[in-house]
Chains A and B, each alone.
Chain A
Amino acid sequence: MAESTELRTGVVADPKKPVAEKEPLFGKKEKILITDPLLDNNPITIQVLGVCSALAVTSLVYPSLVMAVAVVFVCAFSSLLTSLMRNIIPKAVRLIVQLVIIATLVTLVNEALKVLAFPVYKQLSVYIGLIITNCIVMGRLEAFAMANKPWRAFLDGVGNGLGYGLILVAVGVVRELFGKGSLFAGSPIAMNIIGPSGDTTQYWINTAADSGIGSFFGWYANNNLMVLPAAAMFVIAVFIWIQRSYNSKLVDVS
């Protein structure tokens, strides 16, 4: 409603001037940029980008979460920078330029972490390098940021980073819970959910207990397959299956 009033008053105030359609800063189109990659155009389950890192880092939730945050950051700002430079980047070398932008951002994040939070840097050093080769970042620069205005490119970057992160964390939860019986291991809020309690670790559901809830889970053992990278294949495949059975538009009928 506010939008149309604004347009109308604009017409009344200066009838001679052609009305440039004023785009709101965060309207419907911008909202779609964020929400679409979360579900219907998810980078992992629909575009099948960034699967390599999704297999590698999802055996624990905490690293998945951190990787997700880092990718949102790199994806958003590299999209912004690429979009700002899109008219001066020579088309013949655009991929190299995009790669330089991503690598510069990633290196800056890496160096900044060394100063600000060294233990976090130690935890992440492996993933940070992985971001440079993450297909999502470059895919979005090539497909969207090179042809759109900075603000929208930035939102597209955030959206795709979040869509990637959502799947990453979801896969991480399944793999860590069934593979190790814990959640968020290695972070300040580490939780031991299920397993036999010993001298060093106590679990919420103690499968070695003689009474209580734990006694019903005496048969339970961690699934070591979930620890291996191959498990992410199955888990992502199940996500894709569920998603497509809910939304038949996504099914490829060819």
Chain B
Amino acid sequence: MSTKYIYTFGVIMTVVVALLLAGFRTVTAEAAARNEDIFNKREILATLAEPLAEAGSPIETLTDAEVLAIFDEQVEQIVVNPAGEQVADVEFSAIDLAKEYKKPEAQRLYPINIFNIDGERYYVFSVRGNGLWDAIWGNIALASDLNTVTGASFDHAGETPGLGAEIKDNAGWKSQFKGKKIYNGDEFVSILVRKGGAIDQEHEVDGLSGATVTADGVTKMLYNGLKAYQPFIEEQRAEAGATSMNLK
């Protein structure tokens, strides 16, 4: 076979495959983006499983339309800067945490979903960090005292299934976050994933066997991620605290 044949074959093959894949991707892009959006919204709702179940809409039974309806009606989506001030001129949907984390710290913007379920306020913060192989990210919900965790959900780009990927798949492990506190008195401590098992029941959860690096990644991600929201959290806490102090 001549060299010319090989080149011709290569060019034709490349063009055919490229057109096939590009065409297929273009056709399916919209449906895929919609599915991803709903999946991410379900992940956010998963952090509020308990209040939602009490409000009569457990997340397992929600249809896609109901998920979108909750986000339309019961959520206030705000964007804050590192000083904790609300930024009004940036669309919430334009925030991509992966891109924000590439910017210098002072220029980053962070998204917050504030839910109103049965008159109670819940704050869902989005965080991002690194696992063993690739990026990990997650949502963590705080109750209206901005201290008690209502729930957490995590996702990953490429952690090993059965080991690091347990942060996403192991419901029992995730359920430990419920009821933990991110403040020790007035000091911000975040939540520690401890290898060998939690010692301080209020601020620690058990590690995952075989996934120490990913678990440490979660600890770091929660600390750095929540620290970024700290000015906002403390402002809200101060407002709430001021009301209770007035009562004294």
Contacts and interface: CB of A to CB of B under 8 A. Distances in A.
A60 B9 contact: no
The A interface, classified by DSSP as helix, strand, loop or mixed, is helix
Contacts, number: 86
B21 A118 contact: no
B210 A115 contact: no
A237 interface: no
Interface in B26-82: 28, 31-32, 35-36, 38-39
A232 to B, nearest CB: 10
A167 to B, nearest CB: 17
A91 B159 CA distance: 38
Contacts of B25: 111
Interface residues of B, number: 33
8 contacts: A56-B160, A59-B162, A97-B9, A118-B39, A119-B39, A125-B158, A228-B163, A228-B210
B32 A200 contact: no
Interface residues of A, number: 37
Of all A-B residue pairs in the complex, the 8 with the closest CB atoms, nearest first, are A59-B162, A118-B35, A114-B32, A90-B6, A227-B210, A115-B31, A115-B28, A224-B209
Interface string B151-192: 000010011111101000101100100000000000000000
A89 B1 CA distance: 10
A125 B13 CA distance: 26
Given A91-B1, A200-B172, A118 B36 contact: yes
Nearest to A176: B162
A59 B35 contact: no
B170 to A, nearest CB: 8
A89 B9 contact: yes
A100 interface: yes
A111 B162 contact: no
Contacts of A176: 162
Interface string A87-118: 01111110001001000100110011011001
Contacts of A58: 162
A44 B54 CA distance: 50
A168 to B, nearest CB: 12
A97 B13 CA distance: 8
B94 interface: no
A218 interface: no
A238 interface: no
Interface string A104-141: 10011001101100110011011100000000000000
Contacts of B165: 126
Given A115-B35, A186-B169, A104 B20 contact: yes
Nearest to A57: B161
Nearest to A122: B39
A58 B160 CA distance: 10
A4 interface: no
Given A60-B162, A127-B161, A224 B17 contact: no
